[in-house]
Structure 1
Amino acid sequence: MPEEEWRNLHATLEQIIDLITRRNADDSSSEWIESEAARKLLGISPKTWQNYRDQRLIPFSQIGRKIYVNR
């Protein structure tokens, strides 16, 4: 394979990797779910969920009485 084609291929692959990395980062940090939905996804009891929050094992945000976690 000629060197110029190799460099073009390499540059294209780097762009693809960068796009995928940014997309995954955007997706994972932009979706907030309510506390109960997160607890059910994890399959844990309400008491265990409360313990995790009290110990700050899972980061969360609270608005009024609603608790949200980042998916």
Structure 2
Amino acid sequence: MIPQEEWQSLHDKLDRLAEMIENRNASDRDAEWLESEAARKLLGVSPKTWQNYRDQRVIPFSQIGRKIYVNRADLDAYLRRHRIDGK
């Protein structure tokens, strides 16, 4: 048997470790870059609409050569701004 104090200490450490992992995963997601096609599919828009979004600078993006990249955090922010709350 493990004494209650040691068990509680171990339990607290595991809780802190789980919280650190969750924070790390959220941080990794904010740093995730998606290629144009994946971003378009995530939003569920047509190629023409996606082109219009880029032309109008609706969502920030980066371009290297002909490749377009979009930060996942920017897509999430766009979706949050256009969220319609329920009644």
TM-score by length of 2: 0.56
Partner of 2:35: 34
Distance (whole Å) between structure 2 residues aligned to residue 55 and residue 17 of structure 1: 39
CA deviation vs aligned residue, 1:29-57 (integer Å, no higher than 9, x gap): 24x33212321232202232133334444
Query: For structure 2, which runs of at least 5 residues remain unmatched after alignment?
Result: 73-87
Q: How much has 1:62 moved relative to structure 2?
A: 0.5
Q: Are residues 1:44 and 2:45 paired?
A: yes
Letter in 2 for 1:10: D
- RMSD of aligned alpha carbons: 2.5
TM-score by length of 1: 0.64
From the superposition, tell whether residues 2 and 38 of structure 1 become closer, same or farther in structure 2 (CA, over 3 Å).
same
Letter in 2 for 1:34: E
% identical aligned pairs: 59
SS, match of residue 59 in structure 1: coil
Q: What does 1:1-71 correspond to in 2, within 5 Å? A: 2-26=4-28, 28=29, 29-30=31-32, 32-71=33-72
